[in-house]
């Protein structure tokens, strides 16, 4: 910190001391490698390495089964649906919140929209109505969550836990616990098709990611999200409407769930109250593995995308190796713990430097 200039005031000795304190803090600590790994690029490098290792393991254990274009598309299709939810979750978590109800909202949105589709017998029914219905249902649930949390001063954990129970219950009531087949003209054709060699579902995920990245990194909305999550008091005293913003965050994740519901309905050709089971846990895990800080103030869309890909690839490799879901669950649990431990070490290092 040699660019320090003397304090131009009459005080002399205290000014020296002022400089001394600062130079202590300014001194670089830790290796260049350590600093790189704690930068956002460095964190992503770690995720890329993890993904590559998984791919190598997949190729080594199952050979042609894994290294196959169709298999890659299977992974991507699966990743796309939960990925959209995880992207929405990234915003809520960055804003200092939490949403346990995403899986249930996906189920309710899929049931509601397929019910609309089966009840509207008119010939001119367009599948886009299903899409809008699902998104509206998701946004509505998110609005309820957000209002309860921001204005009702409920803990996010409790409010979204209640929504988790209620939304899935409502989905079961509406559907009478029956799976609802979708055969709306054009819906399946559109969403199960390919575009430029990639499944439409993957394109939707890609567009959602791009929009989300811009929203988080290039807009006032994103900046306010980080501010609210990082220090809600400071944000409020800077004139930011913290409560309103919190509501918007939960509406946003609700909309993401609506989109995911449409994608899942298309992928399975059904609406079901059992859709999206355990999505909340997978989505939160993906977000945290990606490097978004649970507790708020720091969020990364790119990290979440890697978190999604790592989790999906892992599932695929396990399935191809004929390992049962219980083993998968144990491995996922271990990965979450390892990822968070690594993250904390990196965070501790960047705090001291």
Residues that bind another protein (CB under 8 A): 1, 3-5, 7-11, 13-18, 21-22, 24-26, 214, 218-221, 223-224, 226-227, 230-231, 233-241, 297-298
Minimum CB separation from another protein for residue 345, in Å? 17
Minimum CB separation from another protein for residue 244, in Å? 9
When the beta carbons of 17 and 194 are compared against another protein, the nearer one is 17
DSSP string across 230-280? H-HHHHHHTT--HHHHHHHHHHHHHHHHHHHHHHHHHHHTEE-TTTTTTHH
Minimum CB separation from another protein for residue 351, in Å? 8
Minimum CB separation from another protein for residue 74, in Å? 36
**How far apart are the C-alpha atoms of 89 and 82, rounded to whole Å?**
10
Minimum CB separation from another protein for residue 8, in Å? 8
- Contact yes or no for 57/318 (Cβ under 8 A): no
Minimum CB separation from another protein for residue 193, in Å? 32
When the beta carbons of 74 and 231 are compared against another protein, the nearer one is 231
When the beta carbons of 25 and 176 are compared against another protein, the nearer one is 25
When the beta carbons of 11 and 325 are compared against another protein, the nearer one is 11
When the beta carbons of 126 and 236 are compared against another protein, the nearer one is 236
Minimum CB separation from another protein for residue 209, in Å? 17
What count of Cα atoms within 13 Å lies in the side-chain half-sphere of residue 195? 10
When the beta carbons of 125 and 221 are compared against another protein, the nearer one is 221
- Contact yes or no for 313/75 (Cβ under 8 A): yes
- Element containing residue 156 per DSSP (H, E): helix 156-175
Q: Burial level of 16, CB count in 10 A (0-12/13-18/19+)?
A: exposed
When the beta carbons of 85 and 227 are compared against another protein, the nearer one is 227
When the beta carbons of 17 and 68 are compared against another protein, the nearer one is 17
**How far apart are the C-alpha atoms of 171 and 271, rounded to whole Å?**
10
Structure tokens at 244: 């309103």
Structure tokens at 196: 């430029």
- Contact yes or no for 310/51 (Cβ under 8 A): yes
Minimum CB separation from another protein for residue 343, in Å? 14
DSSP string across 266-285? HHHTEE-TTTTTTHHHHHHH
Q: Between the CA atoms of 113, 170, 93 and 72, what dihedral angle is there, to the nearest 10 degrees?
A: -50
């Amino acid at each position: 910190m040699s660019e320090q200039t003397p304090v131009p005031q009459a005080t002399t000795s205290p000014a020296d001391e002022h400089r001394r304190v600062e130079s202590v803090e300014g001194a670089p600590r830790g290796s260049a490698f350590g600093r790189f790994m704690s930068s956002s690029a460095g964190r992503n490098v770690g995720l890329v390495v993890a993904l590559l290792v998984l791919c190598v393991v997949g190729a080594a254990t199952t050979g042609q089964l894994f290294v196959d274009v169709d298999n890659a598309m299977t992974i991507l299709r699966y990743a796309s649906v939960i990925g959209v939810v995880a992207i929405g979750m990234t915003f809520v978590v960055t804003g200092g919140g939490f949403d346990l109800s995403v899986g249930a909202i996906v189920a309710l949105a899929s049931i509601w929209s397929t019910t609309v589709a089966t009840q509207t017998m008119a010939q001119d029914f367009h599948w886009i109505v299903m899409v809008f219905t699902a998104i509206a249902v998701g946004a509505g649930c998110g609005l309820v969550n957000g209002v309860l949390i921001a204005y009702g001063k409920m803990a996010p954990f409790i409010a979204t836990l209640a929504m988790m129970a209620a939304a899935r219950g409502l989905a079961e009531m509406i559907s009478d616990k029956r799976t609802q087949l979708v055969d709306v003209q054009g819906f399946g054709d559109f969403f199960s098709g390919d575009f430029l060699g990639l499944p439409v579902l993957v394109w939707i995920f890609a567009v959602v990611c791009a929009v989300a990245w811009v929203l988080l990194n290039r807009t006032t909305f994103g900046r306010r999200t980080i501010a609210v999550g990082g220090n809600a008091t400071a944000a409020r005293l800077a004139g930011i409407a913290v409560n309103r913003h919190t509501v918007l965050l939960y509406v946003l994740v609700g909309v993401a769930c609506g989109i995911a519901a449409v994608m899942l309905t298309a992928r399975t050709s059904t609406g079901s109250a059992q859709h999206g089971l355990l999505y909340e846990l997978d989505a939160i895990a993906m977000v945290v593995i990606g490097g978004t800080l649970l507790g708020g103030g720091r969020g990364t869309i790119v990290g979440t995308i890697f978190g999604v890909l790592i989790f999906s690839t892992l599932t695929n490799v396990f399935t191809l190796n004929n390992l049962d879901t219980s083993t998968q669950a144990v491995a996922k649990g271990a990965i979450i713990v390892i990822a968070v431990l690594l993250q904390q070490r990196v965070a501790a290092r960047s705090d001291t430097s």
